[in-house]
C-alpha cells in the first residue's frame, strides 16, 4: 500500500510540513510554493487516488487504519474516519491552530497535513495526552484556572502549551505567549491560559 515515498509531489500541502508548526502556522512563504513546483514537475511521481486508499496511522500509540482519499487532511481523518473529535477544525487553513496535534513530538496544524503524510509517524492528539485517568498537568491547570469558556480552542491550546513544557521546563510568560501565538480563542481565555501553563510548569518541576 501507500508508503511515505509515494507522498512526494502529490501532497496538496506536504511541502508545508515545517510551516505547520503552531506558532508559524500562518506563515506560508512564496519560497514554499517554488519548492513545490520544482519538486513536482519533472520527476513524474507515483500517482495515487483520487479513489480512497487504505491508510494506517499511529495515533496515541495505537495503530489505526482507514480508507480515505489522498486529499484527506489529518484533521479530517482523525475527526471523521477515526471519530476522534477532540481535535477541532476552525479555519481549515493553518490560521488558528485549533487542530494542533503532535507529530513526532512537534505541534503541527493537522488541517495543513495530509493524512497520508502522517503515516509511519507518531501522532499524539488531545485524547492521548492524559495518562489514563491522570490528567496532564496542563489539562489539570486549565481546569483549576478556568482557562476555557466554550472550549472549542481548548484542545489545540492545550496541545501547544503542553508541547512548550516538553521542551522548556522553565518558561516565561513571553514563552507561553509565543507558544500560543498561533492559537486563536474568541471567548478570550488567553490570560488564564497563560496562568494555567505557568502553573503547570511549576507543578511539573515539583
CA separation for the pair 119, 97 (Å, rounded): 21
Among 6, 72, 100, 113, binds another protein (CB under 8 A): 72
Is residue 132 a contact residue for another protein (CB under 8 A)?
no
For residue 41, the minimal CB distance to another protein (Å) is 25
Is residue 195 a contact residue for another protein (CB under 8 A)?
no
Give the strand order in the sheet containing 106-109: 62-68, 53-59, 122-124, 100-103, 106-109
Binding mask 78-107 for another protein (x = CB under 8 A): -xx--xxxxxxxxxxxxxx-x---------
| 173 contacts: CB under 8 Å, gap ≥ 6 | 194, 198
Among 6, 11, 119, 183, binds another protein (CB under 8 A): 183
CA separation for the pair 97, 109 (Å, rounded): 6
Is residue 204 a contact residue for another protein (CB under 8 A)?
no
Separation in Å, CA 152 to CA 9, 10, 57, 66: 33, 32, 24, 25
100, 152 contact by CB (below 8 A): no
Among 17, 107, 125, 171, binds another protein (CB under 8 A): 125
β-pairing, 62-68 vs 53-59, is: antiparallel
Beta bridge partners of 134: 131
Q: Which stretch binds another protein (CB under 8 A): 7-15, 30-38, 114-122, 144-152?
A: 144-152
Among 77, 115, 158, 164, binds another protein (CB under 8 A): 158
Q: Which stretch binds another protein (CB under 8 A): 2-10, 11-19, 38-46, 170-178?
A: 170-178
Among 9, 177, 203, 204, binds another protein (CB under 8 A): 177
Amino acid at each position: 500500500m501507500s508508503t511515505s515515498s509515494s507522498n512526494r509531489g502529490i501532497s496538496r500541502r506536504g511541502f508545508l510540513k515545517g510551516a505547520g508548526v503552531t506558532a508559524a502556522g500562518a506563515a506560508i512563504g512564496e519560497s514554499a510554493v517554488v519548492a513545490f513546483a520544482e519538486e513536482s514537475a519533472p520527476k513524474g511521481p507515483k500517482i495515487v487516488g483520487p479513489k480512497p486508499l487504505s491508510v494506517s496511522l499511529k495515533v496515541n500509540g495505537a495503530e489505526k487504519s482507514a480508507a480515505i482519499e489522498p486529499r484527506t487532511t489529518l484533521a479530517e481523518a482523525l475527526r471523521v474516519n477515526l471519530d476522534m473529535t477532540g481535535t477541532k477544525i476552525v479555519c481549515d487553513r493553518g490560521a488558528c491552530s485549533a487542530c494542533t496535534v503532535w507529530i513526532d513530538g512537534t505541534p503541527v496544524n493537522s488541517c495543513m497535513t495530509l493524512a497520508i503524510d502522517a503515516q509511519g509517524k507518531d501522532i499524539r492528539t488531545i485524547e492521548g495526552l492524559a495518562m489514563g485517568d491522570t490528567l496532564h498537568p496542563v489539562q489539570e491547570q486549565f481546569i483549576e484556572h478556568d482557562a476555557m469558556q466554550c472550549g472549542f480552542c481548548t484542545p489545540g491550546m492545550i496541545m501547544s502549551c503542553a508541547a512548550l513544557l516538553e521542551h522548556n521546563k522553565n518558561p516565561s510568560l513571553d514563552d507561553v505567549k509565543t507558544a500560543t501565538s498561533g492559537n486563536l480563542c474568541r471567548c478570550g481565555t488567553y490570560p488564564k491560559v497563560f496562568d494555567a501553563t505557568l502553573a503547570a510548569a511549576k507543578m511539573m518541576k515539583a
